[in-house]
Amino acid sequence: MNIKNIKKEVLSDNWYVLQKVTFDHQMKNGEWVTQSREAYDRGNGAVILLYNKTKQKVILTKQFRMPTYLNGNLDGMLIEACAGLLDADNPEDCIKRETEEETGYKLSEVKKVFEVYMSPGSVTEILYFFVAEYSEDLKINEGGGIDNENIEVLELDFEESLKMIKTGEIKDAKTIMLLQYLKLENLMG
């Protein structure tokens, strides 16, 4: 292993845990160099894109995201695929729960398509990506999230959602990846 002498210092654990990590890293030439990085640990998560091949529609959500507001998103609202933190669940159980809470659809089957480090330079999170077909008979409530989530459920034409990437209306990486996955895998064909 080319890493040793790892020292961690908690900088914040107000919402999640932000640590300063100091370590020795062996370079390609064999020299050992001391480096320092910050790592934000918010836990792992799961994300899903619901699609209906017959209707050529997808289900997305819209909600306020403070970090986007702080970085130029004028109203802070973001269109994105349904997602949530695993907490104590496995990825599949988590995404089924989140889908029901956020969108109102109760799923019995989901398909895992890949897992990704979304921001590996600073965040420890692995995100598990899923897709699932939906139909109106799976709708058991209006969705909208729990507590103070205030989530709007959107049913959009698939082709229109792809155009929304180009126009900048959809800027969320996980959502873009899943929409492109549907296109690449010809799941809406």
User: Chain centroid to CA 128: how far?
Assistant: 8
Residues 6+ apart with CB under 8 A from 78: 62, 63, 64, 65, 68, 171, 172
Q: What is the pLDDT, as a whole number, of residue 123?
A: 96
Q: What's the pLDDT band for 17 if we cut at 50, 70, 90?
A: very high
Can you tell me the mean pLDDT for 161-189? 97
Question: Would you say residue 27 has pLDDT above 80?
Answer: yes
| More confident call, 70 vs 148 | 70
Q: What is the pLDDT, as a whole number, of residue 150?
A: 87
Question: Would you say residue 181 has pLDDT above 90?
Answer: yes
Q: What is the pLDDT, as a whole number, of residue 148?
A: 75
Q: What is the pLDDT, as a whole number, of residue 117?
A: 98
Determine the 3-state secondary structure of 148 from DSSP. coil
Question: Would you say residue 108 has pLDDT above 80?
Answer: yes
For the chain, give the mean pLDDT.
Answer: 96
Domain 45-184 sits in CATH at 3.90.79.10
- Any idea what the Cα angle at residue 94 is, between residues 57 and 81, rounded to 5°? 30
56, two tokens: 């050529």
Give 114-151 pLDDT, tens digit per residue: 999 999 999 999 999 999 999 999 999 999 888 778 89
Can you tell me the mean pLDDT for 147-163? 93
Instruction: Give percent of the chain above pLDDT 70.
Output: 100
φ/ψ (deg, to 5) at 71:
-110, 35
Q: What is the pLDDT, as a whole number, of residue 40?
A: 96
Question: Would you say residue 95 has pLDDT above 80?
Answer: yes
Q: What are the residue ranges spanned by the domains of the chain?
A: 3-41, 45-184
pTM for the whole thing?
Answer: 0.94
Q: What is the pLDDT, as a whole number, of residue 165?
A: 98
CB 41 within 8 A of CB 83: no
Q: What is the pLDDT, as a whole number, of residue 146?
A: 84
